[in-house]
Structure 1
Amino acid sequence: MPTYKQFPLSDTAEGLTEADILNWHVKPGDEVKVNQIVVEIETAKAAVELPIPWAGVITELHVEPGQTVEVGTPILTMDVDPGGAAAPAATPTPAASPAEEAPAEEEMKPLVGYGSKAVVTKRRARKSPEATSVTSDTPKATSVRSDLTKATFGQSPVPAAPAAPVKGGYVPLAKPPVRKLAKDLGVDLHALTGTAAGGVITREDVHLAANGSAGTLPVEQSTVDPSSRERRVPVKGVRKATAAAMVQSAYTAPHVTEFLTIDVTPMMEFREKLKKSREFAGVKVTPLTFAAKAVCLAAKRTPDVNAVWDEAAQEIVYKDYVHLGIAAATPRGLIVPKVRDADAMSLKELAVALTQLTETAREGKTSPADMANGTITITNVGVFGVDTGTPIINPGESAILCLGAIKDTPWVVDGEIKVRKVLQLSLSFDHRVVDGQQGSEFLADVGALLADPAVAITY
């Protein structure tokens, strides 16, 4: 006899209330194993792949890609005992005791990282052999699935609202950047058939559909009026979380920004030497690597920038460690993954950690845990050719350093004008925690370390 269970959207990060369904990895009828990845979701922090805690057969998907679902909402139903209906009918069944006939509660224990909530389900009371033969009959099993689901979960006989159907009878396969492009261009992925291996929809497929020359299914009428020359994109996921965080920071922490322009020619020359050394062979050393090391060293001399204001307790919390945030632009928007205990790392270890961090972020694989509990952040606008900026402090921190572009600039050296590699720095800090003196000293220390890396041996 089939045993149905519903898989709810679980809390993959502390405080998560909702998530967007990005892509299903299964469809009704698929047999799955324990801990198999079944769905990819986008939370307010990152894209996360969810495994299923049971083995069985998928019977129904309740939501489709693009929908926003609240935590705790069932997103699929599966049969965890698909072979039960095939049990020999001739086997005698002993009389069930009243205790056995009463619905027994079973707790769905969440996997590690799924939060603390438990979903309680109820097993269906035993039925007569006649009822068993009906549910095991293949043509009729589908027609009575909703009734079985109600019995399984102890729901009332009142008809429930039908789950959202999957358009076109399938779930479109596309990577998150392609889904974002489709949203931006107003293209319905359900109306496309992917040209890549396995039917995956590519960026080219979306562009062709936008130009009216692709797709094997009729495209639904767009809700956007082409004559308006405007398009509206729902604020979801990372963009929604970033907006809320920036507003909170801007209106709760009194920001002060200071600027410093420095000659980093010695740093760039030192970088070339490291690239040729055996120890750094194959290691990507960038100006950001030097900045990360400088921030960690300077924070030890000015611990205020690595502290945080606790409004509820009316305390300043000083951190004896540096969890360094690195602002990264990704297809989903701005995220700030952290290098844990960056102050304990060597320059080479920092270089390796930063390379892994940025690659993971661009692939959309950064976990929510890797973006929590930072102490100070670096943002690098220089990669876009921008000289400097006035960054907003990340909530839960007190300072953020901005790196500008390194440019060949006329510079006075020993009374003569020479062409040098020049960099502009800016530091935004929370004036409740960091006074002008501490902010200036920290920025000056970072500048001195970047202007001449040899200064590090004096710290």
Structure 2
Amino acid sequence: MTTMTEASVREFKMPDVGEGLTEAEILKWYVQPGDTVTDGQVVCEVETAKAAVELPIPYDGVVRELHFPEGTTVDVGTPIIAVAVAGAGGAAPEAPAEQPAAAPAPAKEEPKPEGRQPVLVGYGVATSSTRRRPRKGAEAGSPAPAQAIQAELNGHGGAVAEKRPLAKPPVRKLAKDLGVDLAAIIPSGPDGIITREDVHAAATPRTAEQTAPVVAAPATAAAPAPVASYDTARETRIPVKGVRKATAQAMVGSAFTAPHVTEFVTVDVTRTLKLVEELKQDKDMQGLRVNPLLLIAKALLVAIKRNPDINASWDEANQEIVVKHYVNLGIAAATPRGLIVPNIKDAQSKTLPQLAEALGELVATAREGKTSPAAMQGGTVTITNVGVFGVDTGTPILNPGESAILAVGAIKPQPWVHKGKVKPRQVTTLALSFDHRLVDGELGSKVLADVAAILEQPKRLITWA
């Protein structure tokens, strides 16, 4: 059996799974220390600014340590799990608990993973020196002294590592804001990591001294719990991160970059609803998701075909309008993790059954929280269906990089003049927001009028498509 002295510890780093993302939150660990893992096995699920993604491990071995607990936001490129893998002359170790005790060996005798780590798509090996967290030196069966292991994992001498307390960037910022010296804190986290609770505990006595200097606590008293600056019984504070944080940043950037114009039209969609019922009975549509949104999406695609300049983006760097000859149709979806906008690639080339199938898959994947980052990139125009919430209409904000977004309101029976008589008809209100830098009022009006005309007379789907 291969012992740990014949194995090396490899650090699996948080990858950039979304092209340019800087951090991700660990949602769930699927493995624990001591578990055996194989190449390609999913070890955890993380949430990025775009989606929830499962991460596979790129080698075989035994899990030595999980560096961060669930719910922690970790920077891309930071090691998140340590795995003991076989050395050049042996197989993977069976389990850390079965290692025989070994005499301490110099750190230089342990194989180092530097230069041999697998590089995942989306990120590479850092060129600068990266600090790694030290191992616990008091573990039974440890193949090397704690100082040697720490020196190996840090990539330099142990003395250098001791000069800088171990803490995550958010914890360092918190300490700076509260005026707490990290070097004076006794860490309570794993492997000597200073936690937010440690910083709060160090800051609370200082505050108490300023307000009541005569009160002194025994040296052996437990550290006081962090004091909230608000009434927890009357307020709840939710950290803004992941999808919600990315959405907020994108919407602010869009609202204050692209000059928005929104136009509205109220339309009788009674015939469209009748067509939906007919399509549900069509043999070619059996098993597919058929609803008004399907025909609205098809109507918008036809309108774009008739007015292709609406499907464009603004290139600020080159001062150019980029007209797209393809339509990646985005569908806004509300999920427990926030609003996401996955898109159907090359929607303009799909038949109605193909479009229905793509819509069904998009919605199902979004509800499961499994939408991939790739599915949310490259959108050209979007539909947001606020009508499902009973809302008449809205003024939607453009997705960054897109020139138009169509909001669909609730479909309700209303009195309507039909063939010279007032009759109850199924009516909805559409709202089209567009970037006025590249879409003028005429173009925007034509697109909105075309969508309305198709929904009022669905036979135009055939004559105009």
TM-score normalised by structure 2 residue count = 0.76
Q: What secondary structure, in the 3-state scheme, does the structure 1 residue paired with 2:318 have?
A: coil
- Corresponding residue for residue 83 of structure 1: 93
Distance 1:223 1:54 in 2: 44
Distance 1:143 1:234 in 2: 41
1:261-290 Cα distance to aligned partner (Å, 9 max, x none): 111111111111111121111212111111
Code of the residue aligned with 2:427 in structure 1: it is V
Corresponding position: 1:278 with 2:283: yes
Code of the residue aligned with 1:140 in structure 2: it is G
Aligned residue among 114, 117, 120 for 2:124: 117
Distance 1:308 1:364 in 2: 28
Aligned residue among 298, 308, 319 for 1:293: 298
Q: How far 1:396 sits from its partner (Å)?
A: 0.4
Distance 1:222 1:355 in 2: 48
Distance 1:303 1:311 in 2: 20
Q: What secondary structure, in the 3-state scheme, does the structure 1 residue paired with 2:442 have?
A: helix
- Corresponding residue for residue 263 of structure 2: 258
Code of the residue aligned with 1:239 in structure 2: it is R
Distance 1:29 1:155 in 2: 27
Structure 2 vs 1, CA of residues 225 and 303 (structure 1 numbering), >3 Å: closer, same or farther? same
Code of the residue aligned with 1:151 in structure 2: it is E
1:307-352 Cα distance to aligned partner (Å, 9 max, x none): 0010011000000000000000000000000100000001111111
Q: What secondary structure, in the 3-state scheme, does the structure 2 residue paired with 1:80 have?
A: strand
> Which segment drifts farther, 152-161 or 340-349?
152-161
Identical counterparts, % of pairs:
53
Q: Where do 1:5-16 residues align within 5 Å? A: 5-16=10-21
Code of the residue aligned with 1:37 in structure 2: it is V
Q: How far 1:60 sits from its partner (Å)?
A: 1.0
Distance 2:398 2:230 in 1: 38
Structure 2 vs 1, CA of residues 46 and 345 (structure 1 numbering), >3 Å: closer, same or farther? same
Q: How far 1:458 sits from its partner (Å)?
A: 2.1
Aligned residue among 234, 240, 247 for 2:245: 240
Kept in 2: contact 1:337–1:370 (CA 8 A): yes
- Corresponding residue for residue 155 of structure 2: 154
Corresponding position: 1:268 with 2:276: no
Kept in 1: contact 2:333–2:363 (CA 8 A): yes
Aligned residue among 12, 15, 19 for 2:24: 19
1:403-440 Cα distance to aligned partner (Å, 9 max, x none): 01111111101110111111110000000010000000
Kept in 1: contact 2:403–2:439 (CA 8 A): yes
Distance 1:398 1:166 in 2: 51
Q: What secondary structure, in the 3-state scheme, does the structure 2 residue paired with 1:343 have?
A: helix
How many residue pairs match? The answer is 384
Code of the residue aligned with 1:229 in structure 2: it is R
Unaligned stretches of 5+ residues in structure 2: 87-91, 102-108, 130-136, 169-186, 191-224
Code of the residue aligned with 1:141 in structure 2: it is S
Aligned residue among 112, 117, 122 for 1:108: 117
Code of the residue aligned with 1:61 in structure 2: it is L
Structure 2 vs 1, CA of residues 58 and 41 (structure 1 numbering), >3 Å: closer, same or farther? same
Q: How far 1:35 sits from its partner (Å)?
A: 1.2
- Corresponding residue for residue 171 of structure 2: none
Code of the residue aligned with 2:323 in structure 1: it is Y
Kept in 2: contact 1:42–1:237 (CA 8 A): yes
- Corresponding residue for residue 450 of structure 1: 455
TM-score normalised by structure 1 residue count = 0.77
Q: What secondary structure, in the 3-state scheme, does the structure 2 residue paired with 1:3 have?
A: strand
Q: How far 1:456 sits from its partner (Å)?
A: 1.8
